[in-house]
């Protein structure tokens, strides 16, 4: 038998279509998978860094938490101690800031002696009055 | 005494030879010439050409000399072809020699390897149209994959009586890539397209290269388990190479093992082309359809690359589509040379190799699919 009849009788059309489709789908699947291998590897290899990043973040949060109880003691901290406690708070504010904003931050962090501490920082010229009711952080003095 | 001399004369090849042996010996000499003088795929054409010479020396049947006679040495060597052992071993070596980095760096090029397999299915229809039986048609169609070992493997499983002509056709067209592909490339692309530059691929890590053969063998062999003898060995060879802890095995696979298999494969396939069983109208039909298959495969890759360019922001050089056939590294080299002719600073070799290696995977999957249709 020859011609189209031979193709039809031997299921030729179906074999061609199924075969072509299958090889295409197979290689498309392989393409998709191999195009993702390096991304998956990146994720896997950087999982440590990401975990460390989270740990660091947690540690810095802990620092604040740790700083607060220390500052809760009846003794007023020294200026240098106050500087290290208040610097992270000031960094969260946009300069120049009003003292009320700094007070609110001290409340959030549950810091004791807020008024006395801020007064000490003012006297040490670490909090500089701008003359319009706002203040800035004197980085030179604070260092 | 005269009788004895006459009897001796009638036993010589000179007396027993007919025109078919002479034709095949001339074909063998042409193969040796192309392989030696022109350096067209010498690793394949030299053993095949010499095998054709040996296989076409006439002899008295029944002495246990010929490749088709049981108990002959050649018959035992030929077992590696008919059982599919040699193609599998060649794939092991091929895997150990192949660097898939360029493919991993630019995975979309794998689609060109898939597109170039369309030649196989068009030829399947063509062979059925010309009256071949379905298993014969599938064996002829796989020539379109331009992969000698794959063609031999599938033919050994489906139509063992056609191994000789199909293997010769497949290897001939692989060797004639510099003659067949460039006119099709020029016909289907314009200068502007041939000038497209491909961006250099990203750096591929060793881990990616190690993971690829594992992912490849699982994905492809789950899809077409009948391709296991080929793809399993291909990816095993590649894993040996990439894992870095079995360098001795990888070194042997990419040198001694593949070389031994290539010698026996080429030589016994050449021997199987005995004029009296080879020169038939069917063999001529196979050669014609093989050329059609190869040309359609090349054209499919080129056209598909152009279609991809309609949707891609970063255009790909459509010449790379021609390298989607699995003739490693012949077609990648042709693509590279064609690109260099248009622009001497445009290097397409590595991108071509990516398409080539995906073509190897694609044609092995096709062989598995075609075989599974007849199980």
pLDDT at A75 > cutoff 80: no
Residue A38 Cα distances to B95, B199, B203, B352, angstroms: 21, 18, 10, 22
Using DSSP's 3-state secondary structure scheme, residue B203 falls into coil
Spatial separation of the C-alpha atoms in residues B347 and B275, rounded to whole Å: 44
Spatial separation of the C-alpha atoms in residues B120 and B146, rounded to whole Å: 9
Is the CB of residue B304 less than 8 Å away from at least one CB of chain A? no
- The pLDDT of residue A70: 47
Which residues, in sequence order, are CB contacts of B248 under 8 Å at separation 6+? Answer: none
Whether residue B216 and residue A1 make contact (CB cut-off 8 A), yes or no, is: no
Nearest CA in chain A to B137: A12
- The pLDDT of residue B91: 95
Res. A138 pLDDT band, cuts 50 70 90: confident
Q: Could you read off the pLDDT of B144-195 as tens digits, one per residue?
A: 888 889 999 999 999 998 988 898 888 888 888 888 999 999 999 999 999 9
Would you tell me which residues 223-252 of chain B have a C-beta closer than 8 angstroms to some C-beta of chain A?
Answer: 223-224
Would you tell me which residues 93-152 of chain B have a C-beta closer than 8 angstroms to some C-beta of chain A?
Answer: 103-104, 107-108, 110-111, 113-115, 117-118, 120-122, 124-125, 128-131, 133-134, 137-138
pLDDT at A63 > cutoff 70: no
Range of the domain at B348: 2-59+67-373
- The pLDDT of residue A50: 66
- The pLDDT of residue A86: 84
Which of these, B279, B296, B350, B355, lies nearest to B323 by C-alpha position? B355
Spatial separation of the C-alpha atoms in residues B317 and B17, rounded to whole Å: 52
pLDDT at A65 > cutoff 70: no
Residue B42 Cα distances to B34, B36, B116, B151, angstroms: 8, 6, 25, 19
Which of these, B151, B371, B117, lies nearest to B265 by C-alpha position? B151
Angle subtended at Cα B10 by Cα B6 and Cα B14, rounded to the nearest 5 degrees: 120
- Which residue(s) pair with A135 in the sheet? A97, A129
Select the residue from A14, A27, A38 to test the B interface by mutation, using most B Cβ atoms within 10 A. Answer: A27
Would you tell me which residues 25-84 of chain A have a C-beta closer than 8 angstroms to some C-beta of chain B?
Answer: 25-35, 37-38, 41
Relative orientation angle of helices B163-175 and B19-36, to the nearest 10 degrees = 30
- Taking residue B28's Cβ as centre, other Cβ atoms within 10 Å add up to 22
Whether residue A30 and residue B219 make contact (CB cut-off 8 A), yes or no, is: yes
Is the CB of residue A14 less than 8 Å away from at least one CB of chain B? no
Which of these, B18, B167, B156, lies nearest to B83 by C-alpha position? B156
Whether residue B134 and residue A37 make contact (CB cut-off 8 A), yes or no, is: no
Q: DSSP letters of A4-43?
A: HHHHHHTTHHHHHHHHHHHHHHHHHHHHHHHHHHHHHHHH
Res. A1 pLDDT band, cuts 50 70 90: confident
Give the closest of A16, A26, A41 to B208, CB-based. A41
Res. A71 pLDDT band, cuts 50 70 90: very low
Assess contact for B141 and B124: CB atoms under 8 A.
yes
Whether residue A41 and residue B205 make contact (CB cut-off 8 A), yes or no, is: yes
Q: Could you read off the pLDDT of B227-283 as tens digits, one per residue?
A: 999 999 999 999 999 998 999 999 999 999 999 999 999 999 999 888 877 888 888
Spatial separation of the C-alpha atoms in residues B32 and B300, rounded to whole Å: 31
Please state, rounded to an integer, the average pLDDT across all residues of chain B.
90
pLDDT at B363 > cutoff 70: yes
Nearest CA in chain A to B202: A38
What torsion, rounded to 10 degrees, do the Cα atoms A104, A109, A111, A114 define? -20
Could you identify the residue written with the tokens 């002829």? B140
pLDDT at A69 > cutoff 70: no
- Which residue(s) pair with A129 in the sheet? A135
Whether residue B134 and residue A10 make contact (CB cut-off 8 A), yes or no, is: yes
Res. B44 pLDDT band, cuts 50 70 90: confident
Could you identify the residue written with the tokens 């010498």? B42
- The pLDDT of residue B104: 93
Residue B281 Cα distances to B71, B130, B133, B253, angstroms: 29, 12, 15, 39
Q: Could you read off the pLDDT of B5-37 as tens digits, one per residue?
A: 888 888 788 888 888 889 999 999 999 999 999
Assess contact for B261 and B93: CB atoms under 8 A.
yes
Which of these, B195, B202, B178, lies nearest to B316 by C-alpha position? B195
Q: How far is CA B201 from the centre of its chain?
A: 27
Select the residue from B100, B102, B106, B107 to test the A interface by mutation, using most A Cβ atoms within 10 A. Answer: B107
Is the CB of residue A21 less than 8 Å away from at least one CB of chain B? no
Q: What is the pTM of this model?
A: 0.77
Nearest CA in chain A to B129: A3
Which residues in A lie closer than 8 A to residue B220 (C-beta atoms)? 26, 30
- Tell me the domain boundaries of chain A: 3-45, 63-142
Select the residue from A3, A9, A13, A20 to test the B interface by mutation, using most B Cβ atoms within 10 A. Answer: A20
Q: DSSP letters of A81-128?
A: HHHHHHHHHHHTSPSSEEHHHHHHHHHHTT-S-HHHHHHHHHHTTSEE
Spatial separation of the C-alpha atoms in residues B92 and B76, rounded to whole Å: 22
From A10-19, A64-73, B54-63, B188-197, the region with the lowest mean pLDDT: A64-73
Spatial separation of the C-alpha atoms in residues A3 and B130, rounded to whole Å: 6
- The pLDDT of residue B366: 94
pLDDT at A58 > cutoff 80: no
Assess contact for B284 and B292: CB atoms under 8 A.
no
Whether residue A15 and residue B362 make contact (CB cut-off 8 A), yes or no, is: no
Which of these, B72, B75, B58, B76, lies nearest to B19 by C-alpha position? B58
Which of these, B242, B188, B200, lies nearest to B102 by C-alpha position? B200
Assess contact for B97 and B259: CB atoms under 8 A.
no
Give the closest of A12, A31, A37 to B124, CB-based. A12
Q: Calculate how close chain A gets to B370, using CA atoms only, in Å.
A: 7
CATH number (1.10.10, 3.40.50, 1.10.3470, 3.30.300) of A63-142 reads 1.10.10
Spatial separation of the C-alpha atoms in residues B315 and B318, rounded to whole Å: 9
Whether residue B131 and residue A35 make contact (CB cut-off 8 A), yes or no, is: no
Total domains in the fold of chain B:
1
Asked if this assembly's ipTM is beyond 0.90, the reply is no
- The pLDDT of residue B51: 94
Which strand (E) or helix (H) includes residue B10? helix B2-11
């Amino acid at each position: 038998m020859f011609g189209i009849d031979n193709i039809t009788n031997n299921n030729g059309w179906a074999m061609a279509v199924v075969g072509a489709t299958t090889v295409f789908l197979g290689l498309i699947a392989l393409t998709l998978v191999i195009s993702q291998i390096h991304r998956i590897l990146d994720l896997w290899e950087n999982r440590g860094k990401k975990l460390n990043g989270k740990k660091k973040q947690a540690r810095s949060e802990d620092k604040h938490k740790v700083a607060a109880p220390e500052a809760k003691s009846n003794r007023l901290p020294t200026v240098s101690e106050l500087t290290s406690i208040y610097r992270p708070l000031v960094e969260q504010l946009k300069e120049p800031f009003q003292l009320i904003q700094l007070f609110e931050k001290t409340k959030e962090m549950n810091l004791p002696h807020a008024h006395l501490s801020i007064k000490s920082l003012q006297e040490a010229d670490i909090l500089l009055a701008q003359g319009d009711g706002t203040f800035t952080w004197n980085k030179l003095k604070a260092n | 005494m005269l009788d004895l001399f006459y009897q001796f004369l009638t036993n010589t090849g000179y007396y027993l030879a007919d025109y078919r042996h002479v034709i095949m010996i001339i074909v063998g000499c042409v193969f040796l010439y192309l392989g030696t003088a022109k350096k067209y795929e010498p690793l394949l054409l030299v053993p095949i050409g010499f095998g054709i010479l040996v296989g076409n020396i006439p002899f008295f049947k029944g002495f246990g000399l010929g490749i088709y006679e049981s108990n002959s040495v050649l018959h035992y060597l030929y077992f590696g072809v008919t059982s599919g052992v040699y193609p599998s071993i060649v794939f092991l070596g091929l895997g150990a020699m192949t660097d898939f980095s360029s493919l991993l760096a630019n995975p979309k090029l794998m689609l060109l390897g898939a597109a170039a397999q369309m030649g196989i299915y068009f030829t399947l229809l063509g062979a059925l149209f010309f009256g071949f039986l379905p298993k014969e048609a599938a064996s002829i169609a796989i020539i379109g994959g331009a992969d000698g070992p794959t063609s031999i493997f599938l033919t050994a499983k489906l139509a063992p009586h056609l191994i000789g002509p199909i293997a010769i056709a497949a290897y001939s067209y692989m060797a004639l890539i510099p003659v067949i592909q460039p006119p099709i490339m020029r016909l289907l692309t314009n200068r502007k397209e041939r000038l497209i530059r491909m961006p250099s691929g990203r750096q591929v890590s060793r881990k990616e290269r190690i993971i690829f053969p594992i992912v490849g063998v699982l994905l492809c062999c789950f899809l077409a388990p009948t391709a296991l003898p080929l793809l399993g060995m291909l990816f095993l060879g590649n894993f040996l190479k990439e894992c870095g802890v079995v360098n001795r095995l990888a070194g042997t696979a990419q040198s001694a093992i593949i070389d031994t298999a290539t010698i026996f494969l080429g030589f016994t396939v050449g021997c199987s082309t005995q004029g009296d069983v080879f020169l038939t109208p069917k063999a001529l039909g196979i050669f014609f359809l093989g050329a059609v298959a190869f040309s359609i495969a090349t054209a499919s890759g080129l056209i598909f690359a152009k279609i991809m360019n309609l949707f891609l922001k970063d255009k790909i050089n459509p010449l790379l589509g021609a390298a989607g056939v699995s003739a490693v590294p012949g077609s990648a080299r042709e693509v590279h040379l064609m690109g260099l002719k248009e622009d001497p600073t445009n290097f397409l070799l590595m991108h071509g190799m990516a398409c080539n290696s995906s073509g190897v995977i694609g044609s092995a999957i096709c062989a598995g699919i075609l075989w599974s249709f007849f199980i």
